[in-house]
Chain A
Amino acid sequence: MVEKIYQWLEDRTGLISLIGKVAKHPVPSGARWWYVFGSATLCAFIIQVASGIALALYYIPSADEAYVTLQTITQSTTFGAFARALHYYGASAMVLMVGIHMAQVFLQGSYKFPREMNWLTGVLLLGFTLLMGFTGQILRWDQNAVWTAVVAAKQASRAPLVGGWLSTLILGGPTVGGSTLSRIFVVHVFLIPALVFAFVGLHLLLVLRHGISEPPQPGKKVNPQTYRKEYEAALKKDGVPFWPDAIWRDMVFAAAMTIGIVILAFVFGPPELGHPPDPSLIDANPRPDWYLIWYFAVLALLPHGIENFFMIFAPLFAGILLILFPFISNHGERSPSRRPWAVAVVIMVVVMIGAFWLAGVKSDWSPNFDPKPLSVEVIGADSGPIFKGAHLFEVKGCLNCHLIEGDGGRRGPDLSEVGDKLSANQMLLLISNGAPNMPSYASTLTPTEIDEIIAFLRSRHSRVK
C-alpha cells in the first residue's frame, strides 16, 4: 500500500526522484567545516519563520494595541516569553551566520567564476537580513522602538531630493503615528520575507547549478576557460554525495546553533519591553539592537561636516562595492594564503566593526543624565568657593559630560586632574567660549560663578605623590 502511494506520488509529481537527485548531487570531498555557515543561516531563517508565525498569532500590528499584546505575550502566555526570545536570538544568529558565511566565501575566493551571481544574491540576502533585524526592533513597539523609527526617518530625510518623501513613506506621515507600525509590519512580515524566500531559492538554485566550490589550493588558479571542465573532472574523481556525506556536518552545526539559541532564549528571555510607545514621553534614550550598535557609533563619531554625505553614500557605496566585487576580479588565485589583501580586508572590517561596536556599547559621547552627586570627600571642602564651584559644576550640566573621580559623563575630558593641566586663564577661555563639543557658558554663568567653578577645577590634582 505504502509502495503504491509512493509510486503514484512519484508518477504524478516526480518530486521524490527530483529531491533524491538534488540530495545526492556530488560535492567536492574536501568541503568540510568551513562550509556549514550558509546552511546555518538558512536554519536560523527557518527558526525566524516558525517563531515569527507563532508571534503573529498573538501580535496585533496596531499602534494602539501592539504594546499591550507584547506585554500579554511576554507575561501571561504559555511559552510567549520564550517565543519572543527565540525570535530575538534567532535574528542575532542569522545576522552572525550570514556575516561569517560571507567572510568565508570572500576569504576562500568562492565568489569567483562561475559563482558571481551566488555572491550577488548573497549580498542582497545580507541586506535583507539587516533590514529584517532593524524593522523587527521597531515592531517591539515600545518607547525605544518609536524613537528608533523617528531616527530612521530622520536619517532617510538627509537623502538629497527624495529625503522628505522617504521619511514620510517610512513613518506613513510627517511624524510617527498610527500608520507607522502598520507599514513597518508589512515590510517585516510580508515584503522582505517574500524577497528572502525568492532570493534564498535563487541562491540554492545557483549552488546546485554551479556546485559547491572546492576548497581552495595555493597555486590552483581559476581560469574561466577551463574551470568548469576541471571542476567536473574533480567531482568525477573524488566527489561525494551531498546526502549524507556532506550534509551531516551542516546538521551537526545547525543543531548546535539551534540548541544554543534555545538555551539563550530560556536563560536570558526576550529583550525587555521599555516604556509605552508614547512620543510625548521624551525621557528616552533610543539605541539599536546589538548588530547595529557599531553603525550608531559611526554616526556619533563622524566629523560633523561630512554627515549628510556619509549617511547616504557610505551604505550605498559599500553595497555597490560588494555587488561589484566578483565583476572586478573573477579569476586567479582563491587561496587566502595567496591573497593577503583579502585576509587584510576581512581583518580590517572585523576590527573596525568591533571597535565601533565597543564604542557604541560604551556611548561615551552621550551625556550622563543621572550622575552621582559629588561628595564632600571628592570636593575636598564643605564651604567656600571650591564647594560652591563644585555645586555649580553639577547643576550647570558640566558633570553630565565630564568625569570627576570616576563620577559623571564621558562626553568631554576627565577633569579629575585638570588643576595640573590647565591654568585659570585657560579654563576661563574654555568655559566662556566653549569648544566644538562644549557649549559656551558666557551668557549663562555670572563672572562670580565662573570664578567659583575655576576654583573648584583648580583644586583637582593628581593624588599620586
Chain B
Amino acid sequence: MSKQNSIPAVTDAKKISRRSFFQRLIFALAGLMTAAVGIPLVGFIFRPLFKKPPSVWRPVGKIDSFKIGETVAVTFLQSSPLPWAGVTAKTAAWLRRESTDNFTAFSTSCTHLGCPVRWRSEAQLFMCPCHGGVYDKDGSVAAGPPPLPLPRYPTRVTKDQVEILVTL
C-alpha cells in the first residue's frame, strides 16, 4: 500500500517541477518579449531627453537697422526645427542695442510661467500679460511673481549682421 502511494508522489513531484519550469519559462519569455519590444520604443519615446539641440548662430538683422538704446522684437528659426514644424519653427527674442557694437538679447518667455512678455518702450519695462510680472530694461525683475531675470541669448556682430546664438 505504501509502495503504491509512493509512486504517484514521485510523479507529482516531477509534474510540479515541470510546472514550475513552465511558469518560470512563461515569465522569462514575457520579460524577453517586453524588453525586445519595449527598450527600443522607450528609447524612441524618450529621445528628446538625450538629444541636445545644436547651437547655431542665427542672423536677426543688419546692424544699421537697430538704434542705440532701443529694444525691438526679432524673429529667427530654432536651431534644428523638424521639417513639419511650419510656423512653430519660428521663435522670437527682445533685442536691445546697448552701444555701437554691443547687443543684448532677452528671451520673450516670462520666468514665472513662460507667457510672452511685452516691451513698453516709453516705460522702459517688460510686462507679462498672464500674472503681471514686470522686468526692467536690463531684464531684471522689477515687480510681480517672476522668480528670475529674463534669460539672455549670447549675441555677436558678424559682417554687419547681428546674430543670436540659438540652442532651442
Q: Which residues of A contact B (CB under 8 A)?
A: 62-65, 146-147, 150-151, 153-155, 165, 168-169, 171-181, 276-286, 299-300, 302, 304, 307-308, 365-367, 369, 395-397, 400-401, 411, 434-440, 443-444
Contacts and interface: CB of A to CB of B under 8 A. Distances in A.
Interface in B68-108: 73, 75-76, 78, 81-92, 108
A273 B84 CA distance: 21
Contacts of B127: 367, 369, 397, 400
Nearest to B78: A177
Given A65-B86, A174-B53, A366 B145 contact: no
Given A178-B89, A366-B131, 12 more contacts: A154-B114, A168-B49, A169-B48, A176-B88, A279-B91, A282-B73, A282-B116, A284-B129, A286-B130, A300-B145, A401-B132, A434-B143
7 contacts: A62-B86, A151-B114, A178-B83, A280-B87, A285-B115, A365-B132, A369-B129
Q: Give the 9 A-B CB pairs with smallest separation, nearest first.
A: A64-B86, A178-B82, A397-B123, A178-B85, A439-B142, A154-B114, A282-B116, A280-B75, A280-B92
Interface centre among A146, A155, A172, A279 (most CB of B within 10 A): A279
Contact of A282 (B108, B136, B137): B108
Nearest to A166: B49
A304 B147 contact: yes
B142 A285 contact: no
A63 B84 contact: yes
Contacts of A444: 123-125, 137
B161 interface: no
B114 to A, nearest CB: 3
A284 B113 CA distance: 14
Nearest to A396: B123
A304 B147 CA distance: 8
Nearest to A438: B143
B120 interface: yes
A98 B131 CA distance: 29
A437 B142 CA distance: 8
Given A151-B113, A278-B90, A62 B84 contact: yes
B48 A172 contact: yes
B26 interface: no
B143 A165 contact: no
A277 B168 CA distance: 17
Nearest to B79: A174
Contacts of A178: 81-86, 88-89
A278 B134 contact: no
A147 B114 contact: yes
Nearest to B77: A280
Contacts of A439: 125, 134, 136, 142-143
Contacts of B120: 397, 400
Contacts of B108: 282
Nearest to A367: B127
B123 A300 contact: no
A395 B109 contact: no
A179 B73 CA distance: 25
Contact of B46 (A169, A177, A278): A169
A175 B78 contact: yes
Contacts of A278: 87-88, 90
Contacts of B23: none
B124 A279 contact: no
A70 B109 CA distance: 27
B115 A147 contact: yes
Contact of A299 (B48, B84, B131, B147): B131
Given A174-B168, A277-B88, A280-B75, A150 B125 contact: no
A180 B87 CA distance: 13
Contacts of B48: 168-169, 171-173, 179
B144 interface: yes
A165 B75 CA distance: 27
A369 B88 contact: no
B61 to A, nearest CB: 13
Contacts of A165: 49
B167 interface: yes
B142 A440 contact: yes
Contacts of A276: 87
B118 A283 contact: yes
Contacts of A443: 136
A173 B53 contact: yes
Given A282-B116, A439-B143, A175 B168 contact: yes
Contacts of B90: 278-280
A443 B124 CA distance: 10
B131 A64 contact: no
B64 interface: no
Nearest to B119: A282
A165 B50 CA distance: 10
A366 B145 CA distance: 12
